[in-house]
Structure 1
């Protein structure tokens, strides 16, 4: 008899099934649009591409760090990239083939992003952990060896940043930011700057006298197709810099007070809502 599947494996299957079902509904809806002529066919193809990309951003931001960083080593049955490419991506490709629809133009770019984007995002998420409600931590030496095995070159690209975070903790200076992150005007996620081989390019567009920033050519492309819809939107940081989020005079004198007021405005407190280091820095002491 085959061995029973682990809870972790069953959980991944359920998640892949939910993602696949969501994308299948998108494809089916777009296919119906496409039957209305060339204009609707073009709109349908855009709808598919946009839905896939924004779903990818959400999945990579939430599931990527959870699978590759926050799941204990003995509970990891595959890497996040393996999950996305072999399960989610493969199913999506089959769905498009079944309906005779071509892959989005950015498919190769997406495949490359599965190798690095969520690692870079985890660096950002840990540093700005107080602005989320996820208690985070850094990787242990054993987990770093696993990451290097699954993502060759991880240590060279990302390891040095975790070394710096650990060094700061050991020296009594827990790593916390002194600036606000620059957010993408499309997906609303931080513009991350760590990528294998080079720094990430910040994509920008000027429209009606305002400069818009994007994390990728895909987010910029989506925005360009519907610029009238998104042009007036301001990210949280945009509103902060524009003075639409009211802070006290004391916040301008102390970075600690500034971040306190930002998380209070978000509705978080230090008592279990604002993200903290889940180990209180114990992971960093392993490098002492």
Structure 2
């Protein structure tokens, strides 16, 4: 699976890469629909199973696409190489094609379609905030948006500044004050799709969906992931995320880690970012994007005062 990275350095490269990804996604979903359609013709019970199969497939594909292509398009691709926003891509090149494929077979859209359409406006922005904060748990590099890129984000996603810009302002403030933003906790993961639970909905804080089974609490990033889990409880209830295994002491730690909190985090979190090529998960600009706020964004100090007061 590809990792989040720039889609190219110019519009031609970006368009070519987007066309490739759209074709791969469309082909995968078409095969799912064709198989489900054949299955559905064998009786009512199998028809219901086929519709569930389609809904599940689209949702889990969406999670992977949003996590990989969303940050790539809207945060890591240079401004002069961007030909559209991620939301424009996913709704026009993927969502619309999926709808046509379903219509061709007379199949209704999944029940969560309206919810999905709303998620295309904000989910990958929340995800980018999370993977930047926990960047050292990953084997990819990441950076924050520059003032110019923020203006583009606000243009493409009206309300971005109010909903997500505040967090980047505070990340930048920490960098400027010599305190690079790094967490002291492990990210909580969805028990279905395995993405970090950092879904900051517009106007709200992080939303977590939970379900308790036999005394164990399962956490989900969305009502759709929880719904999929509920359809196949026996299949998924025994699975443990990395954080679940850590809490259950199933991850081997050194004796020093059990008495020294800094060593503990080194072993269970930061070491996740080491690769054969060396340490990954760093900010390649070393926070230079944050310094641009102080130098080139006249509204930065006003926003910081506003956020700190709030």
Matching residue within 162, 177, 192 for 2:198: 192
Find the aligned partners of 1:277 and 1:265 in 2 and give their Cα distance: 16
Give the corresponding residue for 1:68: 74
> Any idea what SS the aligned residue of 1:67 has?
helix
In structure 2, the CA distance between the partners of 1:181 and 1:19, relative to structure 1 (3 Å rule), is same
Superposed displacement of residue 80, structure 1: 0.3
Q: Is the 8 A contact 2:187 2:197 kept in 1?
A: yes
CA drift of 1:261 comes to 1.3
- 1:20 paired with 2:26, answer yes
Q: 1:211 aligns with which of 211, 217, 224?
A: 217
- Over the aligned positions, Cα root-mean-square deviation in angstroms equals 1.6
Give a deviation string over 1:207-264, Cα, whole Å, max 9, x none: 1221111110000000000000001100000001110001223334555433321257
Query: Do the aligned residues in 1 keep the contact of 2:138 with 2:272 (CA within 8 Å)?
Result: no
TM-score (norm 1): 0.94
Q: Which runs of 5+ in 2 are unaligned?
A: 1-10, 295-310
Give 1:145-156 correspondences, 5 Å limit.
145-156=151-162
Alpha carbons 1:178, 1:255 under 8 Å: kept: no
User: Is residue 234 from structure 1 mapped to residue 219 from structure 2 by the alignment?
Assistant: no
> For 1:179, which of 160, 182, 185 is the aligned residue?
185
Whole-angstrom distance in 1 between the partners of 2:87 and 2:244 = 32
The answer for the alignment partner of 1:103 in structure 2 is 109
- Determine the C-alpha separation between the residues in 2 that align with 1:164 and 1:250: 33
1:130·1:274 contact (CA, 8 Å) conserved in 2?
yes
CA contact (8 A) 1:116 1:196 kept: yes
Counterpart of 1:112 (choices 111, 114, 118) is 118
Q: Distance in 1 between matches of 2:74 and 2:260?
A: 35
Q: Residue 169 of structure 1 corresponds to which residue in structure 2?
A: 175
Question: What's 2:6 paired with?
Answer: none
Equivalent position of 1:80 in the other structure = 86
Asked whether the equivalents of residues 134 and 276 of structure 1 are also in contact (C-alpha less than 8 Å), the reply is: yes
- The number of equivalent residue pairs is 284
2:113 matches 1:126: no
